[in-house]
Structure 1
Amino acid sequence: MNLDIKQQQLLRTLPRVDNIFEKFKNEPDYEEIPNSVLTDSIRKTIEILRESVLTNPGAVTEHTLTETSVIQLVKKQIKAEMSYNLKPLINGTGVVVHTNLGRSLLAQQAIDNISCISGLYSNLEFNLNLGKRGIRYSSIEDILCKISGAEAAMAVNNNAAAVLLCLDTLAAGKQAIVSRGELVEIGGSFRIPDVMAKTGAILKEVGTTNRTHLRDYENAIEADTGLMLKVHTSNYSIVGFTASVSLKELVELGGKHKIPVMEDLGSGTFIDFSKYKMIKEPTVQESVAAGVDIVTFSGDKLLGGPQAGLIVGKKEYLDKIKKNPLTRALRIDKMTLAALEATLGLYRDPEKVVQTIPTLKMLTCSLSYIEQKAVQFFKSMQSHKKISIKILDLSSKVGGGSLPLQEIPSKCAAIEIENISPNALEKLMREHNPPIIGRIENNCFILDFRTIQECEILVIEIAFKDILERREQ
């Protein structure tokens, strides 16, 4: 590469790594920074500057390369190196169970219990009554059984793992009958047929995509049939000319032929959302009451707890599942158990649980409550001339593959700033600390106040005011 005289001069001006390193010895605020981080930050900063001189010399001046300027750049690099990659943010998308943003927010009781248990030793696998090794799942089994009405229960690290474990235990090397209309795929290309193949279960498809009858299941039963599986299509819906077999009918057929019936509820809920003018979603209690042998569902979707796969059902089958060697590979840790036990404990009071679990509160709160938050934000920003805010009636989504047809009326702020495009504004908010995530709709940046917490409104106001102040400079 042929360099001009200016580029050569700028390259010679670049400070040495050891010289900058020495300067930081006089920086008291950086005494606790590991030498490895400091050295890497200095090297990265100088390398970035060198690359700029070579590729975009007009953007670099001698002032940029002074020790004082370089030290400031190194401090920014150190801050980036020392910060955590996983960080809290503000969800203004209106998607309550947002998979990309961490799904359900935990109730304060769950957060407190995680803090208590994770910082101390606990009776994770120790029976205090007998003074010997205990069972990991005992801390949540009793309460899961009380809430669901099941004979036995356990938990693994997510619902995909729960499905995998149950199929491996009950249908490995045997036929598992499933309706074609229930061969779902969820996020991350996780498909029911692929899971079956991994467990050694032999998929037996019955019916058609839109219509499956009881006779289809009965005609498919053979000597090596090990399981009948019903999958709740929680992340999509087939409408129009359809027919499906009820869980009760399938249970009766299973009892007749002595074949276990398993239902994968996917999201899973203990709350009847139809009471809150939402689409009816089958509850875990209803599935258990129908006599199903095994039910699997998620802990971090409509349940409002931590990531977990919950398995409830008949004791004879749960005993077999618990003995499967895969349970050790799929087991949940003490922090998840602590959060799960605390979350389940809140379901003892069905009337208060929708107010104490954040996911349930966001899904069932009144439109007037959401409007209060939106109006509070609107009033605080009225004095700024270069920002335009309109309060709109739009819809929120449940998210997490739950209630796909449900649109929940919400109040949103449509925000426009003079000389800033919606895409540029979205990027500025995303790069804020903490990041604020919204959506773009009708060429406006939208914030949905259903998923914005009251304590976050001031943070959003400050973020917009910072953007406006920078534009005025």
Structure 2
Amino acid sequence: MTQTDRRRFIPRTDHLLSLPAVQSAREHHGEHVIRSVIQATQERARRGEIGPEEVSEVIAAALQTRRATTLRPVLNATGVVVHTNLGRAPLSPNAVDALVAASGYVDVELDLTTGARSRRGVAAREALLAACPAAEDALVVNNGAAALVLATTALAAGREVVVSRGELIEIGAGFRLPDLIASTGARLREVGTTNRTHFRDYADAVGPETGCLLKVHPSNFRVDGFTASVSLDELRQIRGVPIVADLGSGLLAPDPLLPDEPDAATALTSGADVVTASGDKLLGGPQAGIVLGRTDVVGRMARHPLARAVRTDKLALAALEATVAGGPAPVVQALHADPDRLRVRAERIADAVGASVVPHDGRVGGGGAPGVPLPGWAVRLPEEAARRLRLGDPAVLPRVHDGACLIDVRCVPEADDDRLLRAVEAALKH
């Protein structure tokens, strides 16, 4: 029988739509998704990739294994803790539970006692203030860039933002700080030079048109050598002008592991009127922009019309509250992982597959603490294993360096070590 003749035996669409497996799949998938799976499978049969008798079985298997999202979970074996390409911070179990709890109707903007409308995200705000007592008020928006844009818009739209030239950074994906601020209607007043800015530069620039002073932490690079900058303690000598400190990374309090990384508590006590930061970096929570500071300044931001456009949703508020109020987030655990324990875990995998273990420094990532090494260990595999690991199940992202595929377990939950080992074994078999 010819291939053309066999095509006549491919099941019709109406027959396939009535299959029990397809009927039950409607509980999880939309009709357009089901039909696309059926049509794609029929096309495979027409091309001769599968036989007509296999169509029903292939459709049932495809619908059963189809995920709710095309985003694939990945085991991060790079040693980079805050990995932007992998969604930055992984959420804690508490935060995941909070997401589920907030997925239905919740009192995000309702006082259940009175039945009246309430301030949005009260619980997240209270959690932030409890974790950072130096702040008088808090506000949560949808990301760190939005927090900075809201601050400069509310305080300096149509006026000047005074900022050091050495802090006009590009924050990633081509987005530049000057462009963000210009989009708010504020005018940049650049002071100092790329490598040296002094107090008098700021003082001379301040005038009737000054909306705020902006202090930006250049988190994703370092400038060494003949340099000078002005601290928040010095800037607060300039009276009558709000000081905005953009911290970027999201530390609420000092971390001895990262002595040069600024934190919100220190920035506020040193003179900042408001600080802005990301929630999904060193804080270890969901994507969010965090604003902490004086009641009057935060209040001006909250009342600005732009605040509505950049407000965050109930899911991020719930996850942020759970992150701040809970125990150490996965990001914190990975940063402070015991190198000796990391070596034991790496050696277990290496021994099982006949590989070697080599010293390997992890990194903070996400623009945080550039150049700060996180001492650890990695399993050294042939470079060609990297692609198989990425395409395997589970997907594993290793580091490819110096002609080798390196598996660093720092960011892999220890409970996933067996899954990681199986993935490595599968990659090496091929």
Deviates more, 1:162-171 or 1:84-93: 84-93
Assess if the C-alpha contact under 8 Å between 1:13 and 1:65 holds in 2: no
Indicate yes or no: 2:210 matched with 1:238.
Answer: no
**What's 1:14 paired with?**
7
Pairing 1:70-81 to 2, within 5 Å after superposition: 70-71=55-56, 73-75=58-60, 78=63
Which range moved further: 183-192 or 66-75? 66-75
Match of 2:316?
336
Whether 1:32 and 2:16 are equivalent positions in the alignment is: no
| Partners of 1:74 and 1:115 in 2: CA distance | 30
Q: Are the equivalent residues in 2 in contact too, given 1:45–1:77 (CA < 8 A)? A: no
Task: Give the unaligned 5+ runs of structure 1.
Answer: 1-5, 54-59, 347-352, 382-387, 417-421
Contact persistence 1:272–1:280 (CA under 8 A)? no
1:369 is displaced (CA, Å) by 1.4
Q: Percent identity?
A: 36
Q: Deviations over 1:250-293 (max 9, x none)?
A: 1112x1xx1111110011202423x23x4421211101101211
**Structural mapping, 1:358-437, within 5 Å:** 358-381=330-353, 388-416=354-382, 422-423=383-384, 425-437=385-397
Deviation at 1:11, TM superposition (A): 4.6
Tell me the equivalent position of 1:56.
none
* Closer, same or farther: CA 183–19 of 1 in aligned 2, 3 Å: same
Partner of residue 251, structure 2: 269
CA distance in 2, matches of 1:74, 1:441: 41
Instruction: Decide whether the 8 Å contact of 2:44 with 2:50 is kept in 1.
Output: no
TM superposition shift of 1:136: 0.6
Q: Distance between the aligned counterparts of 2:425 and 2:53, measured in 1?
A: 30
Cα-to-partner distance string for 1:45-87 (whole Å, 9 max, x where unaligned): 344566xx6xxxxxx6xxx452134455545654676552123
Query: Does 2:249 correspond to 1:249?
Result: no
Partners of 2:253 and 2:243 in 1: how far apart? 23
- TM-score in terms of structure 2 length: 0.91
Aligned to 1:385: none
In our comparison, the structure showing a higher alpha carbon Rg is 1
Q: Is the Cα contact below 8 Å between 2:235 and 2:271 reproduced in 1?
A: no
**What is the rounded CA distance, in whole Å, between the counterparts of 1:158 and 1:139 in structure 2?**
18
2: distance between equivalents of 1:20 and 1:468?
Answer: 41
Taking a change above 3 Å as real, the CA distance of residues 37 and 117 of structure 1, as seen in their structure-2 partners, is: closer
Q: Which runs of 4+ in 1 moved over 4 A?
A: 15-18, 69-83
1:345-398: CA deviation from partner (whole Å, max 9, x where unpaired): 13xxxxxx5xx31111110121011112112222333xxxxxx41100011010
- Could you say what secondary structure the match of 1:280 adopts? coil
| One-letter amino acid of the structure 1 residue matched with residue 395 of structure 2 | P
Structure 1 position 298 matched with structure 2 position 278: yes
Aligned equivalent of 2:425: 465
CA distance in 2, matches of 1:31, 1:312: 51
C-alpha distance in structure 2 between counterparts of 1:244 and 1:37, whole Å: 57
**Residues 178-236 of structure 1: CA distance to partner in whole angstroms, max 9, x if unpaired?**
10000011122221111111110001111111111111111212321111101011111
- The amino acid across from 1:122 in the alignment is V
> Any gaps of 5 or more consecutive residues in structure 2?
none
Alpha-carbon distance in 1 for matches of 2:406, 2:64: 30
Partner of 2:204: 219
Distance 2:9 2:119 in 1: 59
Partner of 1:41: 37
CA contact (8 A) 1:294 1:312 kept: yes
Deviation at 1:459, TM superposition (A): 0.7
Task: Give a deviation string over 1:21-46, Cα, whole Å, max 9, x none.
Answer: 63675x54443234644432232234
Q: Is the 8 A contact 2:79 2:363 kept in 1?
A: yes
Quote how far apart the aligned CAs of 1:404 are.
1.0
- Measure the CA separation in 1 of the matches of 2:259 and 2:4: 66
C-alpha contact (below 8 Å) 1:37/1:78 kept by paired residues: no
1:98-138 CA-to-partner distances (Å, cap 9, x unmatched) read 1111211222222222222324x332112245442110132
The count of residues paired between Structure 1 and Structure 2 equals: 425
**Could you tell me how far apart the structure 1 residues matched to 2:125 and 2:423 are?**
45
Q: Under a length normalisation based on structure 1, what TM-score does the superposition of the two structures give?
A: 0.84
Match of 1:379, as an amino acid? D
